[in-house]
């Protein structure tokens, strides 16, 4: 069976579709070169591009372009739910309050007040935002249970996707079209950030539709995923009216997170998503995103894929 790689990008505006697709493929292939793997041909790679649904004009000047000279990615590490203090923006402080069972008591906070604080900080989640919350709560509990304010004011694209059903359908169409087009191929689905949420929704919907039950994902890769955020999980449960689990049409789910990446602050998805009926569970890996100054950037994750995947053989 022929292989095909389908990619879906993350939040915020993007360069034109052909440029973004080319940049993602270059990043992946540069990583594969470092581990002496065969390169992916352009004909084997497709991008599910949805930024044009959010934005009228593409990003003609990318302030964070792909950098071919990224440092070599570090090897995989076991997932460790601890985030040290590191100098990056958004800045994530020390998190000494992370519980071993990942089930802290939900916060009783004034969401209107938090929303006002986020607006005053121009949607930047940094030390100035955390300072008044730290004495009473703790970083892990504060971040994981800010819920609607976090989505509305920092992950605005995610919030819009969840709260506008017609809008969400338009965003999902490019991915659905590609999955149907390559349904008879061996599909590897690579998703980043908001793209992981869209992919989860789409895969769950396709799994229950008779006309699309033959679509199978041999390998689903999630990078910098917000699927572990309490607010995202709650919204998925409401929208899909079902418990969180690995989609039935997925044969393997590999989740990669950088412990400095605030979007995937809870990068351990295996305890959030149950096994599917075939016994497939999420495999979580902690990695280092080598993109300068932004541990959430897709290109840093993508260039590391060659090393990460080869290390599992």
Residue 39 has pLDDT above 50, yes or no: yes
Instruction: Give the mean pLDDT of 88-97.
Output: 34
CA distances from 29 to 4, 39, 102, 306 (A): 14, 6, 36, 7
Greater confidence (135 vs 105) lies with: 135
Categorize the per-residue pLDDT at 141 as very low, low, confident or very high, splitting at 50, 70 and 90: low
Residue 273 has pLDDT above 70, yes or no: yes
Instruction: Give the mean pLDDT of 240-258.
Output: 95
Greater confidence (61 vs 93) lies with: 61
Before 13, cis peptide (omega within 30)? Answer: no
Greater confidence (122 vs 182) lies with: 182
Q: Which of 119-123, 203-207, 241-245, 286-290 has the lowest mean pLDDT?
A: 119-123
Supply the mean pLDDT for the chain: 78
What CATH number should be reported for the domain whose range is 3-77+157-310?
Answer: 3.40.50
Q: Which of 124-138, 221-235, 236-250 shows the highest mean pLDDT? A: 236-250
Greater confidence (65 vs 152) lies with: 65
Q: Please work out, in degrees rounded to the nearest 5, the angle formed at the alpha carbon of residue 27 by the alpha carbons of 25 and 28.
A: 65
Residue 116 has pLDDT above 70, yes or no: no
Residue 80 has pLDDT above 70, yes or no: no
CA distances from 37 to 28, 30, 66, 165, 305 (A): 11, 10, 20, 41, 11
Instruction: Give the mean pLDDT of 156-176.
Output: 88
Instruction: Give the mean pLDDT of 69-77.
Output: 56
Categorize the per-residue pLDDT at 121 as very low, low, confident or very high, splitting at 50, 70 and 90: very low
Residue 285 has pLDDT above 60, yes or no: yes
Residue 247 has pLDDT above 70, yes or no: yes
Instruction: Give the mean pLDDT of 268-295.
Output: 93
Greater confidence (17 vs 93) lies with: 17
pLDDT value, residue 193: 93
Q: Which of 135-139, 266-270, 274-278, 306-310 shows the highest mean pLDDT? A: 274-278
pLDDT value, residue 87: 29
Residue 108 has pLDDT above 60, yes or no: no
Categorize the per-residue pLDDT at 79 as very low, low, confident or very high, splitting at 50, 70 and 90: very low
Q: Do residues 8 and 178 lie in contact, with contact meaning Cβ atoms separated by under 8 Å?
A: no
pLDDT value, residue 190: 98
In angstroms, the CA 310 to CA 100 distance is: 30
Categorize the per-residue pLDDT at 196 as very low, low, confident or very high, splitting at 50, 70 and 90: very high
Residue 135 has pLDDT above 70, yes or no: no
Q: pTM for the whole thing?
A: 0.78
Q: Which of 119-123, 133-137, 294-298 has the lowest mean pLDDT?
A: 119-123
Residue 265 has pLDDT above 80, yes or no: no
Residue 18's region, left for phi above 0, alpha for psi from -120 to 50, else beta, is: alpha
- Of 193, 201, 189, 162, residue with least CA distance to 264: 193
In angstroms, the CA 32 to CA 113 distance is: 47
């Amino acid at each position: 069976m022929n292989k095909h790689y389908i990619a879906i990008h993350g939040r915020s505006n993007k360069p034109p579709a052909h440029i973004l697709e080319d940049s993602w493929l270059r990043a992946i292939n540069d990583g594969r070169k470092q581990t002496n793997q065969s390169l992916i041909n352009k004909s084997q790679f497709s991008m599910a591009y949805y930024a044009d649904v959010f934005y009228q004009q593409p990003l003609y000047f990318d302030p964070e372009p792909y950098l071919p000279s990224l440092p070599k990615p570090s090897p995989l590490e076991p997932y460790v739910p601890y985030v040290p203090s590191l100098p990056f923006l958004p800045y994530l402080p020390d998190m000494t309050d992370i519980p071993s069972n990942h089930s802290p008591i939900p916060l009783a906070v004034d969401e209107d007040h938090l929303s006002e604080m986020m607006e005053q900080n121009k949607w930047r989640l940094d030390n100035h935002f955390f300072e008044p919350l730290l004495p009473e709560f703790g970083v892990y509990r504060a971040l994981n249970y800010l819920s609607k304010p976090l989505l509305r004011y920092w992950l605005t694209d995610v919030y819009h996707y969840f709260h506008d059903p017609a809008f969400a359908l338009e965003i999902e169409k490019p991915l659905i079209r590609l999955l149907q087009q390559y349904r008879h191929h061996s599909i590897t689905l690579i998703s980043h950030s908001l793209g992981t949420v869209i992919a989860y929704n789409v895969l769950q919907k396709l799994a229950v539709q008779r006309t699309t039950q033959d679509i199978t994902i041999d390998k689903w890769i999630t990078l910098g995923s917000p699927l572990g955020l309490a607010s995202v999980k709650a919204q998925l449960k409401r929208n899909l009216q079902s418990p969180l689990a690995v989609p039935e049409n997925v044969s393997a789910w590999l989740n990669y997170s950088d412990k400095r990446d605030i979007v995937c602050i809870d990068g351990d998805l295996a305890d959030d998503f149950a096994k599917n009926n075939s016994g497939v569970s999420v495999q979580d890996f902690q990695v280092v995103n080598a993109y300068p100054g932004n541990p959430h950037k897709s290109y840093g994750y993508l260039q590391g894929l060659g090393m990460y995947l080869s290390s599992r053989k």
